[in-house]
Structure 1
Amino acid sequence: MPTTRETILAALHAQLSMLPATVLRGEVLPERVPAAGLLILRDGDPGEPETTLSPLIYHYQHRAEIEAVVQGAGRDAAFDALCASIGAAIAGDRTLGGLCDWIEAEAPQPVDLPIEGAAALKAAMIPVVLHYSTADPLG
């Protein structure tokens, strides 16, 4: 049976998979970036939980990351559209079907990466904060 953390990350991956970009989870950057862009969901860090007693509950503000990458001549517009689509996907269901208390993305800090012999990449890590509670930090 998957843990609360894994269930939430899988739901976020599924929600992002509805976008036209290729969406991977925990993979390395492939040699080619698809024309519609590439998203790689990184599990991130659950951080130190706050706790409540009776019953004992752990409250997390888990920081996952979405690596967003586009390539080509129109990469500025493509990157902007990709980030907007991520925002719309998250805003469409901020509880991931009731699995989270709240999910919120932070602003990206894009960088241009030159590639020898190919079109440059535009990429950014987009932090996503997942607020959820669980009765077991390992469960």
Structure 2
Amino acid sequence: MPTPRETILTALHARLSALPATALRGEVLPERVPAVGLLILRDGEPGEPEVTLSPLRYHYQHRAEIEAVVRGTDRDASFDTLTAIIGAAIAADRTLSGLCDWIEAEAPRPVDLPVEGAASLKAAVIPVVLHYSTADPLA
């Protein structure tokens, strides 16, 4: 039986997989970035939970990351479109069908990545905060 953390991350990956860009989870950056763009979901860090007693609950603000990468001659517009699509997908269901209390993305910090002998890539890490509670930090 998967933990709430794994269930939420799997649901977020499924949500990203429905987007036009190729979505991976926990993979290394491939040698070739698809023309439609690439998203890599990183599990991130659950952080230190707040704890309530009676009943015992651990309340997390888990910081996952989405690496977004685009290529091509119009990288700026492609990147802007891709980040807007990610934002819309998150805003469409901020609880991931009730799996978590709230999900929110933070602003990306884009960088241009030079590629020897080819056009550069535009990439950013988009932090995503997943708010959820669980009865056991390991369950």
| TM-score between both structures, scaled by the size of structure 2 | 0.99
Give the corresponding residue for 1:10: 10
Residue by residue over 1:39-83, the C-alpha shift from the partner in whole angstroms, topping out at 9 and shown as x without a partner, is 000000000000100110000000000000001111000000000
Asked if 1:102 is matched to 2:109, the reply is no
Question: Which blocks of at least 5 consecutive residues in structure 2 are unaligned?
Answer: none
Residues of 2 paired with 1:127 and 1:10: CA distance?
16
* Aligned counterpart, 1:125: 125
Secondary structure of 2:13's counterpart equals helix
* Correspondence list, 1:1-139, <5 A: 1-139=1-139
Structure 1 residue 118: Cα displacement? 1.2
Tell me the CA shift for residue 28 of structure 1: 0.2
CA distance in 1, matches of 2:55, 2:4: 17
Q: Which whole-Å CA distance do the structure 2 matches of 1:73 and 1:112 have between them? A: 12
Tell me the CA shift for residue 119 of structure 1: 1.3
RMSD: 0.4
Structure 1 gaps, min length 5: none
Q: List, as ranges, runs of 4+ consecutive aligned residues in structure 1 with deviation greater than 3 Å.
A: none
SS of the equivalent of 1:20 reads: coil
AA of the residue aligned to 2:9: L
Give SS of 1:54's match.
coil
Q: Which amino acid aligns with 2:112?
A: D
* Distance across 1 between alignment mates of 2:133 and 2:76: 38
Identical-pair percentage: 83
- Secondary structure of the 1:44 match is strand
Between the aligned partners of 1:91 and 1:99, the Cα distance in structure 2 is: 15
SS in 1 for 2:95: coil
